[in-house]
């Protein structure tokens, strides 16, 4: 920029000298001086050249680095939130299984742990809920039972879902026939078709029928179109999940992750 300014000054000086000689010979000294003064004045009144404001390379690199750090922190926080929701849901489900089994033993009645998905109950959110029911008389062949609600439906944390699929040959209640539970809540007769696990008064499994244990799978994910959809991680499309195996004779849950 300084070199360009010096070139302009030199060019102006040369032009002024030439004009001075030319105008002196042609019009005389006075007229020549006036013309030179006017010419130089016009040159000095040219608008200065200004550089456009822009970011420097260092500023751009700094902004990119800050954005990268914030994205990395955000992804880590979201991942940690989903893992925490899965752990909380697994613990809540295990505790509810223990409560259902102990209630069946102490009350000497069959107790149902009902797992209701969005659409099974008259709710507006996309959350899975757990309910406990006491059954006085278990039906012999029907999949519809009359029961008493023992406590309010408990929603599991958002970001975690139970979902179907056997594990190492162990059946999953999500893949087996559902139960229709009829009960009274708030003075209204309600009928809900749900996934269920039922416990006998001796603490074993009444439902699903059979002689083998069952397994519940809890994964990170959500509901799309009313169906549970686990989140797929990485290039391998793996699922982050916990598993609870429930025995047949002693229907207690334990982790098999």
User: How many structural domains comprise the chain?
Assistant: 2
**Residue in 223, 194, 212, 193 with CA at minimum distance from that of residue 251:** 212
What is the DSSP pairing of strand 110-116 with strand 188-199?
Answer: antiparallel
Please indicate, yes or no, whether residues 6 and 127 belong to a single structural domain of this protein: no
Instruction: Fill in the DSSP letter of residue 235.
Output: T
**117/243 same-domain check:** yes
Q: Looking at the predicted structure, is the pLDDT value of residue 252 above 90?
A: yes
Whether 249 is covered by a domain: the verdict is yes
Mark whether 32 and 146 lie in a shared domain.
no
In a domain, 211, yes or no: yes
pLDDT value for 141: 81
Range of the domain at 182: 62-255
Asked if residue 48 belongs to a domain, the reply is no
Q: What is the pLDDT, as a whole number, of residue 26? A: 47
Rounded CA separation 73/50 (Å): 41
Structure confidence by residue, pLDDT tens digits, 161-211:
999 999 999 999 999 999 999 999 988 999 999 999 999 999 999 999 999
Same domain for 34 and 67, yes or no, is: no
Same domain, 36 and 116: no
| Predicted TM-score (pTM) of this structure | 0.69
Alpha-carbon distance of 247 to 212, in angstroms, equals 7
- The answer to whether residue 50 is domain-embedded is no
Residue 23 CB neighbours (<10 A) = 19
Average pLDDT rounded to a whole number, residues 55-70: 79
Give me the torsion for CA of 101, 105, 109, 112, rounded to 10°.
0
Q: What is the pLDDT of residues 71-129, one digit of tens each?
A: 766 655 555 578 899 999 999 999 999 999 999 999 999 999 999 999 899 888 888 99
56 belongs to a structural domain:
no
The answer on 113 and 168 residing in a single domain is yes
Neighbours of 81 (CB within 10 A): 14
Q: Could you tell me if 67 and 113 lie in one domain?
A: yes
Spatial separation of the C-alpha atoms in residues 132 and 116, rounded to whole Å = 11
């Amino acid at each position: 920029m300084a070199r360009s300014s010096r070139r302009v000054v030199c060019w102006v000086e040369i032009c002024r000298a030439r004009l001075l000689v030319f105008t002196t010979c042609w019009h005389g000294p006075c007229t020549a001086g006036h013309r030179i003064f006017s010419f130089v004045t016009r040159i000095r009144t040219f608008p200065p050249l200004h550089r456009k404001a822009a970011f420097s390379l260092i500023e751009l690199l700094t902004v990119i680095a800050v954005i990268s750090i914030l994205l990395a922190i955000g992804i880590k926080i979201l991942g940690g939130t989903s893992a925490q929701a899965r752990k909380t849901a697994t613990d809540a489900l295990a505790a509810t299984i223990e409560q259902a089994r102990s209630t069946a033993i102490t009350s000497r009645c069959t107790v149902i742990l009902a797992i209701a998905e969005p659409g099974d109950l008259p709710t507006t959110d996309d959350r899975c809920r757990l309910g406990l029911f006491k059954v006085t008389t278990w039906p012999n062949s029907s999949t519809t039972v009359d029961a008493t609600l023992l406590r309010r439906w408990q929603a599991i944390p958002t970001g975690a879902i139970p979902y179907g699929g056997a594990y190492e040959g162990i059946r999953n209640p999500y893949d087996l026939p559902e139960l229709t539970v009829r009960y009274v809540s708030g003075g209204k007769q309600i009928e809900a078709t749900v996934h269920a696990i039922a416990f006998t008064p001796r603490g074993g499994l009444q439902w699903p029928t059979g002689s083998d244990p069952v397994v519940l799978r809890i994964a990170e994910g959500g509901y799309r179109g009313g169906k549970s959809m686990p989140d797929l991680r990485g290039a391998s499309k793996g699922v982050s999940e916990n598993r609870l195996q429930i025995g047949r004779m002693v229907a207690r849950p334990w982790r098999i992750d």
